[in-house]
Chain A
Amino acid sequence: MSQAVQKKVVDSRGSFCPGPLTDLFKAYRSARPGDLIEVWATDPAAKSDITAWASKTGNQLVSVEDDEGYTRITVKVTNKKA
């Protein structure tokens, strides 16, 4: 029986580079294929870093949305084998 897709919100607001990436790695370790990870970041480098991470690792960048004072970056886990 397949398990339900989960969405995990990672709040990295206030954390400097590479805080948001480090938090993403932590969430990714326990994620399953199909899961969504939404990173909240105030660090401007988070957008480009997470976009590059998704592209390089073969996972999917779903959205990048600017909110009040922070950015919400959502990725879908699509290429995790382990």
Chain B
Amino acid sequence: MTLRLRLILTTLAAGVPALIALWFAGNSIRDASDDDLFNAMVLAHFSPAALDACEAAPPTARVGIPLPALKRGAFHAFGEASELLVFTYDRAGRSSQRDALALPPEALAEVRRGPLGRSVDVMIAGQRHLLLALPRERGPCALALTATPRVGPLGPPPHELLVPLALALLAGLVGIWPVVRRIRSMTLAVRRWDQAAPLGLPRDVGSDELSELSRALTDSAETNRRQHAALVAREKALLEFIENTTHDLATPLTVLQGSLSALAKAHSSDAVRQAMTEAQYLGALLGNLAVSAKFEAAAQVETTLDLRDVVSRVVDRHRAMAQWLGVEIERSIPEEPLLALGDPTFTERALANLVENATRHNVSGGHVAVVLESEGGEFVLRVLDDGPGLTREECERALRWDEPSDAARTRSTVGGLGLAIVARVAQLQKWRFALTPGESGGLVAELRGPVV
């Protein structure tokens, strides 16, 4: 069954009984209103003077109570009559009108029980009439009965209509619930969906619109999953390629550096020093490329680092370069371990870039100091140099890792990829990185972060 047909049938199954019940309810309410109006009209007509006149001269014909134009048609049950006709009776049910209808004994009993001024429904010869007790205990005008039978109400009283209404509502729920359940199940499946896995909806072989939607969602999710898997595989392949390439280059570059170092000891010349500088640069580039690839792949490893070891390794790595450039490099680390959370490769690379810049862009006879200290629950790692330094503008530009400048492509300028990587590492590891001109020239690069 299609969804459209199901919705139509459910609407009919629930709506039609509800409409009928409401129609009956409306009629009942109108009837109740008619009763009140009838009571008011009759009581108004049979004033004490009218009752006295009735007792003095009991009517022999139906009593007509004129209806004001405003009230005509107000008696829905009696049509558009211009007057309301009633029979009058005494308390025993006897009437002075020859054609008066005989009152059933139960009706007399009921009207006597009820309060004055409140009419009761009376069935006479299968037809409904209203019987009202007038405010006179004796005499021929103690009761008044509608001469014209009333039509309605059709159906039971309002309170008895609650049951069919409830049934209509239940029919609606039963009809629509399977649809809601299926829509909810699809919604849950979509919300929980992990791109790397299938959607998790059972294969729906039905023929209605929801089944079509379920199949369309499942197919779309499968396409998405395959594309996602392909993307992940491509990223993994790229990362592996970069790792393998850097790995393959690392050992021959180490051999090259060793040969150059031996050559420098034997023949110290500008050419050899230049070659050593380029080899150092290649090594740094290799490290920076590998780290950049890991940024893209979100391949950060968080572990507890003793920053003293990081400082020692990095400074030792750069002693050779510092020596052949005529720059003095020293480091200061605390006696006790100074622990922080971070990725070892990222952290070393960041510090290496700072030390590399401080050393490479210094002058012969210059100094580089790497100082690691603890301050107020944080570690402070500073790289100070007395080289040419940077202007405040250059410091700010270097800190924007997401806007690689043209300087990144010309390694002769300070900044570029190295400082961008430092800024990115600091951002990833929730550290703070600052570059400020030194008080008496040079540059101070500072990394700060919480200790563990």
Do A and B form a real pair? no
